[in-house]
């Protein structure tokens, strides 16, 4: 359908098509306790080892977070020691980092509904860029100001899963987060206009199970398209008072997991692994086609994984979808496995998800153990990219 759209029309800023993410959530969980999955996964003490592991998968582009709750030790006073170490280690390994400024967490004295939230966040963004450019004056800088605004708005605004622990205030939280998001972009671009912005939002499908009821179908479709409110605010289509601009919607990241499709009436997850496919299941290709048709921007799969025994099966399904998407001509610039390293649950830290490419079973050593089945899937992925598809060979895929 999009055969006339060449991926080379969009300057690809990424060093590798296959990407990886390291868990960096640092928010208050459902019990009011601060989580820090950067440390809980051992990434803080095994950073160099983790970056060495990337060579096994030929990954040169990763997602990391600065962890706002750790960096801002006092209002407008920042500790960049972790950033220094990450940047130096990445440089030693020829690794490109896409930076999350806020991956769900913020300092104890702030919530998105605090009147100073946007100002504090904007100044953090500005300070980050100044610090980054002092260390790397000329490299490509790609930033996600706030990861998954839609999810964070629901978690903190509707179901009391994190700060500000509200019910029925999802839109208010989303509005406040987007105010901060855009102010952060403005202040970053004042320092460095060349910064690239990568939006990362859940890609979902909401559908009715009552095909004979037009009202039910319409209601489900309305809920389905609410997932694009953040995109529309960012590019100025809605809420123009927040100063969104079309150029702020730069690269679109879609976070896509096995439970991202559900039935509107029951909230039941639509099964993803059935053969033939479940009649209500929408392919990833079709969902991404909707995003590209709507916005015409380059896309990456910015998060994907599956916990437990089906993770290799899920990766195979996603990589097959990548092939289908690339064949359409849609500019899919990458696919990020998130997380690469095992992680514990936010609310129950003794429950490990086993959703990464490397597992952790021994918490005393935090030893990384390769999940061979998943590794073989990704190995096959490389072969197909090289031999069957015209993927830009300047990329280290």
pLDDT of residue 266: 96
Query: For a pLDDT cut of 70, what percent of the chain falls above it?
Result: 95
- Residue 396 pLDDT greater than 80, yes or no: no
End-to-end CA distance of the chain: 25
Q: Which of 195-204, 260-269, 340-349, 381-390 has the lowest mean pLDDT?
A: 381-390
**Token code pair at residue 331:** 């500019």
Q: pLDDT tens for residues 130-161?
A: 999 999 999 999 999 999 999 999 999 999 99
pLDDT of residue 25: 98
Q: What is the mean pLDDT of residues 351-361?
A: 97
State how far the Cα of 117 lies from the Cα of 111, in Å rounded to an integer. Answer: 7
Q: pLDDT tens for residues 161-209?
A: 999 999 999 999 999 999 999 999 999 999 999 999 999 999 999 999 9
Contacts by residues 116-121 (CB-CB < 8 Å, ≥ 24 positions apart): 117/176, 117/180, 118/176, 118/179, 118/180, 118/183, 119/183, 120/72, 120/75, 120/76, 121/68, 121/145, 121/146, 121/180, 121/181, 121/183, 121/184
pLDDT of residue 395: 38
CA angle (50 as vertex; 69, 367 as ends), nearest 5:
100
CA angle (52 as vertex; 47, 53 as ends), nearest 5:
100
Query: How many separate helices (H) and strands (E) can be counted in the chain?
Result: 12, 14
Using pLDDT thresholds of 50, 70 and 90, give the confidence band for residue 383.
confident
Mean pLDDT, the chain, rounded, equals 94
pLDDT of residue 393: 38
Using pLDDT thresholds of 50, 70 and 90, give the confidence band for residue 52.
very high
């Amino acid at each position: 359908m999009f055969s006339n759209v060449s991926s080379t029309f969009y300057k690809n800023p990424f060093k590798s098509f296959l990407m990886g993410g390291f868990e960096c959530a640092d928010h208050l969980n459902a019990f009011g306790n601060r989580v820090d999955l950067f440390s809980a996964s051992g990434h803080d003490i095994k950073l160099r080892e983790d970056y060495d592991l990337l060579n096994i998968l030929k990954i040169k582009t990763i997602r990391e977070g600065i962890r706002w709750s750790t960096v801002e030790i006092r209002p407008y006073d920042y500790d960049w020691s972790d950033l220094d170490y990450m940047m130096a280690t990445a440089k030693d390994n020829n690794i490109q980092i896409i930076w999350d400024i806020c991956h769900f967490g913020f300092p104890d004295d702030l919530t998105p509904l605090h009147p100073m939230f946007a100002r504090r966040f904007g100044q953090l963004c500005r300070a980050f860029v100044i610090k980054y450019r002092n260390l790397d004056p000329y490299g490509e800088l790609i930033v996600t100001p706030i990861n998954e605004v839609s999810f964070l708005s629901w978690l903190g605004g509707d179901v009391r899963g994190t700060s500000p622990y509200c019910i029925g205030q999802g839109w208010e939280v989303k509005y406040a987060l987007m105010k901060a998001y855009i102010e952060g972009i403005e202040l970053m671009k004042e320092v460095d206009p060349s910064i690239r912005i990568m939006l990362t939002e859940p890609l979902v499908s909401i559908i009715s199970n009552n095909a004979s009821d037009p009202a039910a179908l319409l209601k489900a479709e309305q809920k389905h398209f609410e997932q694009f409110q953040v995109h529309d605010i960012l590019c100025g289509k809605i809420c123009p008072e927040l100063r969104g601009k079309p150029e702020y919607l730069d690269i679109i990241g879609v976070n896509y997991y096995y439970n991202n499709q559900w039935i509107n009436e029951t909230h039941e997850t639509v099964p993803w692994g059935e053969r033939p496919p479940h009649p209500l299941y929408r392919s990833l290709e079709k969902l991404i086609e909707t995003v590209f048709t709507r916005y015409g921007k380059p896309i990456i799969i910015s998060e994907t994984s599956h916990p437990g025994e089906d993770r290799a099966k899920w990766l195979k399904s996603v990589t097959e979808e990548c092939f289908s998407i690339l064949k359409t001509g849609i500019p899919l610039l990458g696919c990020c496995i998130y997380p690469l390293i095992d992680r514990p649950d936010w609310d129950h830290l003794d429950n490990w998800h086993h959703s990464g490419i490397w597992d952790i079973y021994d918490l005393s050593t935090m030893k990384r153990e390769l999940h061979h089945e998943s590794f073989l899937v990704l190995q096959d992925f490389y072969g197909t990219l090289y031999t069957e598809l015209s993927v830009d060979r300047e990329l280290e895929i």
